[in-house]
Amino acid sequence: MDLCIPLPLPNEELEDIIDKAKDWALMHGVCMRSKVKFNRDALQFAPFVLIPSSFPRKEFENACSIQIILNRLMHQVAHDYDFLKETLQETIEVDTFTRKLFDIYETVYKEGFTQKISLGLLRSDLMLDTSCPKPKTCNNHQPYCCWKQVEINTIASGFGWLGPAATNLHKFILQELGVPEKIKNLPDNNALQGICTGMIEAWKIYNDQKAVILFVIEDVTYNICDQRFHEFEIRRLNPDIKVIRRNLTQLAAGAKLGQNKELLMDGYTIAVVYYRSGYEPGQYYSKNEWDARLLIERSLAIKCPSIQYHLAGAKKVQQALAKPEAVTRFLRDEKTIERVKEIFTGLYSLNFDEHGDAAVEMGIANPKKFVLKPQREGGCNNIYGMNVRSFLESTKNKQERVAWILMDRIDPPLQINYQIRPGSDTDTELKELVSELGIFGVIIGDEKTVLINRQVGHMLRTKIATADEGGVASGLGACDSPYLID
């Protein structure tokens, strides 16, 4: 695709703009704590690409417009007990983490939900694809044929701050490079405000002016700016709302239910619980943390995500929705159904049946064409390349294989750019990169009624083309923003 500006840049200009961009990032909160040498009192700039990556305008607009459909789809999936139970039945037999989540869900489902309203802060991740399964989708004049959904995140959907911050960083860089007329092709990005407005609206629904919003956090937070700026933005939008931060261990020790099942912690009544932790097994050290999660789910607080929303984001659910006619269970309009089905890539169950056996053989025969995904969030959990074959051969006759899904590997178009990383000595080297776009959505409602449903912004992550994973917090990707081209 056409680049935002011609590259390479002259060496003197390149070194000057890199220095300026690093300082701008540091002074405007495009930052993280170092995982290499952690210091609670120090920040370093988050990795970023120097020039915004080109992205087709029509595909960007399509991704934004379909988000409200995906919001409603996931909302309905989350409120379909039979579908979740049927879909996850075999997985929970071999995946302890998913089983424990489902046990909590089943407990509160049978007891009756104290709080029927859920807050969904979702992020649908997608990539452009250069391989065309259907000839009619091909366009010989474009370096891609379509886009496909990588996954949809229902818990701890990050980059609500870093997405807009990257856009502002690139506006500064384009201004400094003397091409301010190109800034108009960077789409407005109000993800932070949109996400925080969703939390404030949930807080208002709870209807207790003295209640607070609880962020459930990790023991050590590296991606601190992406969390704190949410807290600061909530205060800016509504100075009456206080945010408190606690980890699961602290909640296990101090949280309790009040007389009307309100969630209480350290003298505060909690209106909204926003999880930035709790999405992987290592964040639950003992039964105490699991008990805390159950306590929260039994409470009157509005959860983001509620336990059913958490489960709806499982890879196994994504795979089940990609089956022929599965979406028709939740959506009625034929055009809407077709739009959603078109974005699904190939997703295959590894259950012990003829379809699962066929998927195993398919993955063994052509491992580089697929990705293996477990029921995990947070990055660095997937299996790629020849390791797909090794894993499938070793688990071919073992029950544990059903905890995974097999997914077609998306082949995105390449772009060249400079990737700027803390402590790197390769900042001035052009690299081949690929990008993944995330679209944010906010949805609030109960089983019968959707009160709010909107698309609220975006983020772009870019990684070296040869890298498998691409998470910025995990050190593999870089902050980016889309430069829209026609």
Instruction: Please give the average pLDDT of every successive group of 10 residues along the chain, which has 486 residues.
Output: 94 98 98 92 97 97 97 98 96 95 98 98 96 54 85 95 98 98 98 98 98 97 96 98 98 98 98 97 96 98 98 95 93 94 94 94 95 80 93 94 94 96 94 97 97 98 85 78 97
pLDDT, residue 51, reads: 98
Cα gap 365→8, rounded to integer Å? 40
Cα gap 32→30, rounded to integer Å? 7
Do residue 54 and residue 96 come from a single domain?
A: yes
pLDDT, residue 135, reads: 45
pLDDT, residue 133, reads: 56
Q: What residues are designated binding site for substrate?
A: 123, 227, 461
pLDDT, residue 291, reads: 98
Do residue 297 and residue 222 come from a single domain?
A: yes
Helix (H) or strand (E) holding 419: strand 415-420
Do residue 212 and residue 114 come from a single domain?
A: yes
Do residue 168 and residue 216 come from a single domain?
A: yes
Q: Tokens 């602290």 sit at which residue? A: 250
Do residue 435 and residue 405 come from a single domain?
A: no
Helix (H) or strand (E) holding 173: helix 162-176
Closest CA to 411 of 47, 153, 152, 150: 150
Look up residue 424 and give its two tokens. Answer: 């790197």
Residue 1 belongs to a domain: no
Q: Are strands 482-485 and 53-56 parallel, antiparallel or unpaired?
A: parallel
Q: What residues are designated binding site for ATP?
A: 151, 315, 373-382, 384, 407-410, 436, 463, 469
Do residue 268 and residue 166 come from a single domain?
A: yes
Closest CA to 274 of 236, 310, 312: 310
For residue 479, the enclosing domain spans: 11-345+410-485
Residue 178 belongs to a domain: yes
DSSP string, 357-393: HHHHHHHHHSGGGEEEE-S--SSS--B-THHHHHHHH
Residue 6 belongs to a domain: no
pLDDT, residue 137, reads: 46
Closest CA to 240 of 211, 202, 262: 211
CB 384 within 8 A of CB 470: no
Q: Are strands 212-217 and 268-275 parallel, antiparallel or unpaired?
A: parallel
Do residue 382 and residue 275 come from a single domain?
A: no
pLDDT, residue 371, reads: 94
Q: Output the CA–CA distances (angstroms, integers) from residue 256 to 42, 197, 263, 269, in the order listed.
A: 35, 27, 6, 10
Cα gap 436→438, rounded to integer Å? 7
Do residue 304 and residue 379 come from a single domain?
A: no
Q: What residues are designated binding site for Mg(2+)?
A: 151, 153, 377
pLDDT, residue 378, reads: 65
Q: What's the number of domains the chain is made of?
A: 2
- CATH code of 382's domain: 3.30.1490.50
Torsion of CA 197, 212, 27, 125, to 10 degrees: -50
pLDDT, residue 142, reads: 73
Q: Which residues contact 6 (CB under 8 A, 6 or more apart)?
A: none
Do residue 253 and residue 395 come from a single domain?
A: no
CB 74 within 8 A of CB 22: no
Let me know the angle formed at the C-alpha of 407 by 402 and 412, rounded to the nearest 5 degrees.
160
Cα gap 241→43, rounded to integer Å? 27
pLDDT, residue 381, reads: 83
Look up residue 313 and give its two tokens. Answer: 């984001």
Q: What residues are designated binding site?
A: 123, 151, 153, 227, 315, 373-382, 384, 407-410, 436, 461, 463, 469
Q: Which residues contact 444 (CB under 8 A, 6 or more apart)?
A: 117, 118, 119, 120, 198, 201, 202, 205, 450, 451, 452, 453
Residue 122 belongs to a domain: yes
Residue 377 belongs to a domain: yes
pTM tops 0.85: yes
